[in-house]
Amino acid sequence: MKVLVVSGIWPPDVGGPASHAPEVARFLANRGHEVEVVITAEQQPAPESFPVHFVSRAHPPGVRHLLGVKLIRERAARADVVYTTGTFGRSAAGATLARKPFVIKLTADPAYERARRRGVTEVSIADFQLGGGGLQIALLRIARDQELRRAAHVICPSAYLRELAIGWGLAPEAVSVLPNPTPTVPELPSQQELRRGLGVGEGPLLAFAGRLTAQKALRVALEAVAGNPGVTLLIAGEGPERPELEGVIAELGIGDRVRFVGPLARHGVLELFRAADASILSSSWENFPHTVVEALAVGTPVLATAAGGVAEVVKDELNGLVVEVGDTQGLTEAVRRYFADATLRERLRAAAVASVIDYGPERVFGTLEQILVAAAATR
């Protein structure tokens, strides 16, 4: 089978798709499939065992999009199936022009994400599903629906997102739940060694990794830290919210207990989570964040809000503690309880790795391979 993998980000970019796309491409190549990749990038990416073609981000958005469609069409013409983890409009257009089936990995409501980025809505994702919002948002919904309905299959990492997709008019049999896989965890140094490398002591330590965006609602996490004297938080990642978050940290007077460590590659994220006592996630909307699985895979419980599909993997009182979205007091209390109760802490840590054992990459990517084979057969 010849597969074209399309992704908007790729190493050295950080983020879920930047980890997922190369892992899928390598898995398929190792299984004997002929793989090519199309991405957007700042510069020529590092060599792989398969061709990686890129559109430069130096181009203005409109030009970049047109060049992306052209490149996807050219490479899709040689493929049996296209697998896209982002840039859905360009992928749908390029694959359709090449008359090739395509499979989408959906990670969010594309219309909602675009509307939030453009600043044309402030409502919750649940309220967004109720309709309304004016002409611009209506056009974004139409574009989303047209892109997704043309796909041979749509993969969702959570049952939560699958239900949303079906609500947009997608046929239930064309939408599958396939969770994000656990990473391959290398042998890591001890927690004490990792903490020394990060320049932190032996006190209670929380960690966050991800894009610093409004979606992550990090003010909630910062207020939870402020309400728990002695707790330190390390934040890995970059994004447009950083200046505002720095202001919140100053406002709360916790500058000596919160530190930004910058963007980290996946290995660095795994080390960060292993060093921490718990991962914290205060998002206002989510699907199924990779960082939840990464934390649990290295044995670190998650203290989280029940955004989107998070509660499908973070089980309250089993491998973490879960509170309602936006519940600052609830998250503050969860942090306090976690560090005050050594028995609870050890019980959650002991269950963390086993709780994601079914998310192994061989099983997840093997199922994806079957979906791609079936889609290729529809040509």
Q: Read off the pLDDT of residues 64-77 as tens digits, 9 standing for 90 and up.
A: 999 999 999 999 99
Helix (H) or strand (E) holding 332: helix 328-340
**Which sign, positive or negative, has the C-alpha torsion 254, 255, 258, 262?**
positive
Tracing tokens 């042998």 back to the chain, one arrives at 187
Angstrom CA distances, 133 to 90, 112, 120, stand at: 25, 11, 8
CA distance 347 to 321: 12
Helix (H) or strand (E) holding 363: helix 361-376
Whether the per-residue pLDDT at 14 is higher than 80: the answer is no
Can you give the pLDDT at residue 17?
85
Question: Where in the chain are the domains?
Answer: 2-180+360-376, 191-357
At 63, the pLDDT band (50, 70, 90 cuts) reads very high
Can you give the pLDDT at residue 299?
97
Percent of the chain residues topping a pLDDT of 70: 100
Q: Do domains 2-180+360-376 and 191-357 have the same CATH topology?
A: yes
- Over residues 287-302, the mean pLDDT reads 94
- What pLDDT, in 10s, does the model give residues 148-199? 999 999 999 999 999 999 999 999 999 999 999 999 899 999 999 999 999 9
Residue partners of 180: CB distance under 8 A and separation at least 6: 16, 20, 157, 288, 289, 290, 293, 359, 364
**Residue 104 · residue 91 · CB < 8 Å:** yes
**Residue 289 · residue 14 · CB < 8 Å:** no
- What pLDDT, in 10s, does the model give residues 189-230? 999 999 999 999 889 999 999 989 999 999 999 999 999 999
Can you give the pLDDT at residue 275?
98
CA distance 52 to 45: 7
Can you give the pLDDT at residue 19?
87
Residue type, 259: R
- Over residues 325-338, the mean pLDDT reads 97
Angstrom CA distances, 87 to 104, 106, 149, stand at: 10, 11, 15
- Over residues 88-94, the mean pLDDT reads 96
Edge-to-edge strands of the sheet including 258-262?
258-262, 232-236, 205-209, 278-281, 302-305, 320-323
Can you give the pLDDT at residue 18?
86
CA distance 321 to 196: 27
Tokens of 336: 């306090």
Can you give the pLDDT at residue 348?
98
Could you tell me the pTM of the whole model?
A: 0.88
Whether the per-residue pLDDT at 375 is higher than 90: the answer is yes
Can you give the pLDDT at residue 42?
92
Mean pLDDT, rounded, of the chain: 95
CA distance 296 to 199: 23
Question: How many beta carbons lie within 10 A of that of residue 67, not counting itself?
Answer: 15
Residue partners of 337: CB distance under 8 A and separation at least 6: 321, 344
Whether the per-residue pLDDT at 333 is higher than 90: the answer is yes
Whether the per-residue pLDDT at 41 is higher than 90: the answer is yes
Can you give the pLDDT at residue 15?
77
CA nearest to 248, candidates 233, 262, 263: 233
- What pLDDT, in 10s, does the model give residues 173-185? 999 999 999 998 9
Can you give the pLDDT at residue 16?
80
- Over residues 51-64, the mean pLDDT reads 96
180 vs 347, higher pLDDT = 347
DSSP 8-class letter at 358 = G
- Over residues 360-369, the mean pLDDT reads 96
DSSP 8-class letter at 46 = P
- What pLDDT, in 10s, does the model give residues 233-250? 999 999 999 999 999 999
Question: How many beta carbons lie within 10 A of that of residue 34, not counting itself?
Answer: 15
DSSP 8-class letter at 176 = E
Looking at the structure, give the CATH architecture of the domain made up of residues 2-180+360-376: 3-Layer(aba) Sandwich (3.40)
Can you give the pLDDT at residue 150?
95
Whether the per-residue pLDDT at 90 is higher than 90: the answer is yes
Can you give the pLDDT at residue 270?
96
CA distance 318 to 215: 25
Peptide bond into 12 cis (omega under 30): yes
Can you give the pLDDT at residue 52?
98
Give the CATH number of domain 191-357. 3.40.50.2000
